Amino acid sequence: MASPIIAALRHRRDLKESVLHTAQELAHRASIYGVVRVSYTYLAQKCHCSRRTVMRHIARLIEANIVRKTVIWIRGNFCEMNQYSFVISWDKLPHKGGSDKTSSILPPQEREKETSVREELAKQKKGIYFLTPRSALWQKVSEEIARLEGLVAERG
């Protein structure tokens, strides 16, 4: 969901490069509703700047009416979490069509090759060596081997 928000941010000519970069980092983590919860420290690491610089960038984004900040207190932990909501308008509709490189009519989906009875028998005989003898699964595989051997004997 980040690309429509980032496209809307790129149309803003009032944002400096570093503030725009911080806004884009927020947009990358935003939900489909334009809401993101991220710490200053994490955002500072992603933007390659200090925590205080990120705080200034967020303040500028709030002043420019791009994001709205809400502080959420977590009861019992005595800590707060910042939640940012994008308030700029962006294209919320899914894009119609597809890439010009994809065809409109897809080829039929290939089915997986069906294994022969002999191949299935060989696979079951190979796999039984990894099972615990006389266990329920071992017994079930032994019955399947017997059934497949009967089918092979019928077909000659």
**Tell me, what amino acid is at 95?**
H
Strands 79-86 and 35-37: antiparallel
* Amino acid 109: pLDDT: 59
Nearest CA-CA partner of 31 in 1, 4, 70:
1
* Amino acid 91: pLDDT: 72
* Amino acid 62: pLDDT: 92
pTM over 0.75: no
What share of residues in the chain are helix, strand, coil (percent, to 5)?
A: 50, 10, 40
Across 24-50, average pLDDT: 89
Nearest CA-CA partner of 128 in 113, 105, 111, 145:
145
Higher pLDDT among residues 74 and 143, named by residue: 143
* Amino acid 110: pLDDT: 57
Q: Domains in the chain, ordered, with CATH?
A: 2-86 (1.10.10.10), 117-155 (no CATH)
Across 105-109, average pLDDT: 62
